A and B are shown apart, each in its own frame.
Chain A
Amino acid sequence: AQKVTQAQTEISVVEKEDVTLDCVYETRDTTYYLFWYKQPPSGELVFLIRRNSFDEQNEISGRYSWNFQKSTSSFNFTITASQVVDSAVYFCALSENNYGQNFVFGPGTRLSVLP
């Protein structure tokens, strides 16, 4: 069965610090997809990244970077030089290659960036 764990319930950092949000997943499938979403206080989930299980290249997008390691079943998310606007709940999600409807979300990590 699929499972996504985000062990960090809440993280607080001071602006300009780097912060890493952990995501560990469980799946029996060899083909699967991983996602990160951001949920700001307004509530809407904003898609950040999608990665398939065959692509282990790390990705960088501006201040955001993602480290995908199949050996440890982790898909960690790092924000460099954090800003107050990064304050949100971040969700990691997993979907196996069977009908896409089966998205499993982690419990989320609430990030507070203090000025």
Chain B
Amino acid sequence: SQTIHQWPATLVQPVGSPLSLECTVEGTSNPNLYWYRQAAGRGLQLLFYSIGIDQISSEVPQNLSASRPQDRQFILSSKKLLLSDSGFYLCAWSPPGLGVETQYFGPGTRLLVL
């Protein structure tokens, strides 16, 4: 069966510091991968998605970037965090292909920027 992992679970970082959040998927090959952000009390915003290694699409221009160095690894990064980057970051995967597939979510990372 497929599983998705995210770490760290919680992170407190000062403004201006770098960020690296990691997401890995097991039990599947060539998944579609996604990064979402959920601000406090609000819905989900799609940040990035990837249909393959080094193939990243950005949905919203921002202070963040994403990379996919391996098939089942998706990394969310920032060179300098802003206060507005605080939120709950969720990674998701869906079966490979370009059709509509159900997305399955990881446990999330709570990021607080102070």
Contact = CB atoms under 8 A, between A and B. Distances in A.
Interface in B1-52: 32, 34, 42-44, 46, 49, 51
A22 to B, nearest CB: 15
A102 B32 CA distance: 12
Given A43-B88, A45-B90, A106-B43, A95 B107 contact: no
Which bracket fits the contact residues of B?
20 to 34
Contacts, number: 55
A99 interface: yes
A42 interface: yes
A53 to B, nearest CB: 10
A97 B110 contact: no
A64 interface: no
A95 B100 contact: yes
Interface residues on A, range: 20 to 34
Interface of B: 32, 34, 42-44, 46, 49, 51, 57, 88, 90, 92, 94, 97-108, 110
10 contacts: A43-B90, A44-B105, A44-B106, A47-B104, A97-B100, A99-B98, A101-B49, A101-B51, A102-B46, A107-B43
Given A45-B44, A45-B105, A105-B44, 14 more contacts: A35-B102, A37-B105, A42-B107, A43-B108, A46-B105, A95-B100, A100-B100, A100-B101, A101-B49, A103-B34, A105-B43, A106-B43, A107-B43, A108-B43
